[in-house]
Amino acid sequence: MTNHEYLNEEETMNGYTKIDRYNPEKIENIAKHYSEVLIEMGEDPTREGLLKTPERVAKALQFLTQGYDAQPAEILKSAMFTEDYSQMVVVKDIEVFSMCEHHMLPFFGKAHIAYIPNGHIVGLSKLPRVVDAFARRLQVQERLTNEIRDCIQDTLKPAGVAIVMECKHLCMAMRGVQKQNSVTTTSAFTGAFENEKTRAEFLRLITASLD
């Protein structure tokens, strides 16, 4: 039994869950706690502007962490095709929105993913969906990067996977060291991308512009 059996079959199709409806019991529980948090902050949760805030926050949290219910490997398996193509496939500038597990504040930016097919290709839209499935959880950028790499490697079994992720962390920009423009870059490679030449080609492709 999962926490989210309220989702019907259609919504969990292909391992990709789009939450349009929420678990009312969970929302209520989380909202109750946020009411307390507001009081601790010195706020008045009964004033007009805050009346529905605990519920809104609870719904937002449930949305932002829906990746716990997704099955990223299934997302890939739902669109794998036998194909002879064996050159690098690159999907760049994939938007990433996640939340750091240390402060529960957003980090966001872009992911660039490449793989070299080894008998199978995957529907291109599935790569951003895999990113979402792992990003919509409490994360650190390093683990997020590795989880995406491992999922693609283990499921598609390509000749190699490469991923570079560049994100801004609000926990760094708005608090702590308050470095507003610093960007954190992480990367992960397997197989053919361990080779310096192949990796250089990938890095050239993701930094090249089309115009």
Q: Among all residues, which ones are annotated catalytic?
A: 100-103, 141, 169, 171
Here's the x/- map for Zn ion, 26-55, by CB under 5 A: it reads as ------------------------------
Say if CB 4 and CB 25 are below 8 A apart. no
Does 102 interact with Zn ion (rule: CB under 5 A)?
yes
Does 56 interact with Zn ion (rule: CB under 5 A)?
no
Q: Which residues contact 116 (CB under 8 A, 6 or more apart)?
A: 86, 87, 88, 89, 158, 159, 160, 191, 192, 193, 198
Question: Within 13 Å, how many C-alpha atoms sit on residue 91's CB side?
Answer: 17
Does 168 interact with Zn ion (rule: CB under 5 A)?
no
Nearer Cβ to Zn ion (56/103): 103
Taking Cα atoms as reference points, which of 183, 167, 99 lies closest to residue 136?
A: 99
Does 91 interact with Zn ion (rule: CB under 5 A)?
no
Binding residues with Zn ion: total (CB under 5 A): 4
Does 167 interact with Zn ion (rule: CB under 5 A)?
no
Does 100 interact with Zn ion (rule: CB under 5 A)?
yes
Greatest Cα pair distance in the chain: 63
Please report, as ranges, the residues that interact with Zn ion according to CB under 5 A: 100, 102-103, 171
